[in-house]
A and B are shown apart, each in its own frame.
Chain A
């Protein structure tokens, strides 16, 4: 017995609606990316990458200070966050069966859900306020707090994917447990772990809120980790909410650079896993 026409039509309509929902989501993505290219690409010239902000009223100037600032702050975040994340992740995969494993897993997920602005308050309370000044270091610590739990969870997943037979083979050859874990299991999962780190880097590179009152932003070129420093997302924010057309133009260009950086890290992450799979 075939369903009656009305039911079939309704089903077809709802199926069409799900196509529509998917199309709308992709349309939104397309609209954002297209606008970034349309408004930002024209301003990407040599000056944009080599000059810093110029005083109000002058045209020109660029985002060099912000780009370097983002690289430094994200680099610092990785230096702090990656060891904690990877170590915690290996712990979860190798010894995480008990109560402590459950706790760490739950805490990592909870940390993932904490709004980034709250992480900013945290870094301000413990680093900026005692030091009495805004520092890029505080910004890096704040980003590390966002990065570490993400890396921990992806590392755990990647290590868990390694087949148990590999571990058994290494143990049967007389390897000690820690060498088995580090040189066989973790090494097998290393491409996945690197991917997880890159994805987390892409996520924190775009974070603005935790830097607002830690790294603060800076109109000048600075590589001093213990002073205020510019960052791409901060500079985009300041220029976007400012009243000048020249600022808006540069904000679009900065946003294009930021999204390219994020996409580059993401693509890189995919390539690392793919290369490994084909090897």
Chain B
């Protein structure tokens, strides 16, 4: 039977100098060389993103410079686009971009809000997940497929089935003047509305989910119907976030390229009529860039690209700020990805 080990056999030899409590703390807080390298590498990778934004801005500015010097800001207010004569004015493109996007938002916003309200307030629980997934799936469909569908399904449908029916009722309106051949601002607006709907609906849904249940309960306790609770309490509570969702959708619509290029008709003219062809900034770049012959034509295209870039940066900053204000900390802002 051996003697139980004494304390001195277990504890380390404490004859040498012992670290003080403070030194122990410092040892714990010490950041090793590995930590410095790790953090440095991650910082470099993260810095690639701001660098990328700067290079994009610099590239666009440099490319647009010849056109900027020649046309100044008159470029934005003139409407002649003649590559042969070397005269470029982007007004029809800018107006066309805004007009087609506004048409899209006019259709998409009520629908998207309806979907968001359905998903957060009225749908049976078992239906919410599947419907949300299907709506998000709309955002996964590539732009060129929307374009294909627009050319071969939507345009014939609008021209042969919808237009003959609604024409007698609406043709006196300035929005429906002219002959409807198919490719038009209307077709572009409808396609765009389907494309931005999932973005507006998904972000609005996140915003509505962030509205405290107590708000709804209070309204219901005061005798409101469920719809009244939604309309007069939930929506106003989330209005900044919903506005952010709408602006985010608008940003998508303004920059959308392929589907619009395929269905809008590509005509450099300003017209109030929805049934006539139009043009957008993105569509003009897509169509003319690879075939531009003169350096000035190229530069003019980069100049409108720069305008589109600045518009989208401003719009996104505004939307993020609005969403962030409502849903601080919740996932509403990042869901916009």
Asked whether A and B interact, the reply is: yes
Q: How far is the CA of A83 from the CA of B47 in the complex (A)?
A: 12
| Minimal beta-carbon separation of B331 from chain A (angstroms) | 7
Report whether B45 and A83 are in contact in the complex, using a CB–CB cutoff of 8 Å.
yes
Q: A17-B114, A103-B50, A110-B313 are in contact. Are A84 and B286 (CB under 8 A)?
A: no
A116 close to B (CB within 8 Å) = yes
Interface centre among A24, A103, A255, A262 (most CB of B within 10 A): A255
| Minimal beta-carbon separation of A142 from chain B (angstroms) | 11
Report whether A176 and B49 are in contact in the complex, using a CB–CB cutoff of 8 Å.
no
Report whether A209 and B52 are in contact in the complex, using a CB–CB cutoff of 8 Å.
no
Q: Which residue of A lies closest to B138 (CB)?
A: A29
Using a CB-CB cutoff of 8 Å, which residues 128-179 of chain B contact chain A?
A: 131, 134-135, 137-138, 140-149, 151-153
| Minimal beta-carbon separation of B165 from chain A (angstroms) | 18
Note all chain B residues with C-beta closer than 8 A to A118. 56, 60, 255, 305, 308-309, 312
Report whether B48 and A148 are in contact in the complex, using a CB–CB cutoff of 8 Å.
yes
Report whether A84 and B45 are in contact in the complex, using a CB–CB cutoff of 8 Å.
yes
Q: How far is the CA of A187 from the CA of B334 in the complex (A)?
A: 22
Report whether A236 and B48 are in contact in the complex, using a CB–CB cutoff of 8 Å.
no
Give the number of residues in B that approach A within 8 Å (Cβ atoms). 97
- How many pairs, one residue from A and one from B, have CB atoms within 8 Å of each other in the complex? 289
Report whether B63 and A121 are in contact in the complex, using a CB–CB cutoff of 8 Å.
yes
- By size class, the interface of chain A is 35 or more
Surface stretch bound by B, among A42-50, A55-63, A71-79, A89-97: A89-97
Task: Kindly supply a per-residue 1/0 record for chain B positions 310-325, scoring 1 wherever the CB is within 8 Å of any chain A CB and 0 otherwise.
Answer: 0011011101100000
B285 close to A (CB within 8 Å) = yes
Note all chain A residues with C-beta closer than 8 A to B52. 107, 111, 145, 148
Report whether A154 and B257 are in contact in the complex, using a CB–CB cutoff of 8 Å.
no
A241 close to B (CB within 8 Å) = yes
B1 close to A (CB within 8 Å) = no
Q: Which residue of A lies closest to B305 (CB)?
A: A121
Note all chain A residues with C-beta closer than 8 A to B151. 240-241
Q: How far is the CA of A1 from the CA of B225 in the complex (A)?
A: 11
Task: Kindly supply a per-residue 1/0 record for chain B positions 88-102, scoring 1 wherever the CB is within 8 Å of any chain A CB and 0 otherwise.
Answer: 000000000000000
Surface stretch bound by B, among A162-170, A177-185, A271-279: A177-185
B118 close to A (CB within 8 Å) = yes
Report whether B146 and A32 are in contact in the complex, using a CB–CB cutoff of 8 Å.
yes
Report whether B331 and A157 are in contact in the complex, using a CB–CB cutoff of 8 Å.
yes
Report whether B337 and A262 are in contact in the complex, using a CB–CB cutoff of 8 Å.
no
The 6 closest A-B pairs by CB, nearest first: A115-B255, A206-B142, A21-B114, A87-B45, A11-B227, A178-B38
The chain A residues found within 8 Å of chain B, CB to CB, are 1, 3, 7-8, 10-12, 14-15, 17-22, 24-26, 28-29, 31-32, 35-36, 39, 83-84, 86-88, 90-92, 94-96, 100, 103-104, 106-122, 124-126, 145, 148-150, 152-154, 156-157, 176-179, 181-182, 202-203, 205-209, 212-213, 216, 233, 236-237, 240-241, 248, 251-252, 255, 258-259, 262-263, 266
Q: What are 30 A-B contacts defined by CB distance under 8 Å? A: A3-B223, A18-B117, A26-B135, A29-B137, A29-B138, A84-B49, A91-B46, A95-B39, A96-B46, A104-B47, A106-B317, A109-B336, A110-B53, A113-B312, A113-B315, A114-B309, A117-B257, A118-B312, A119-B56, A122-B59, A125-B62, A148-B48, A152-B46, A157-B331, A206-B145, A209-B257, A212-B286, A240-B151, A252-B148, A262-B141
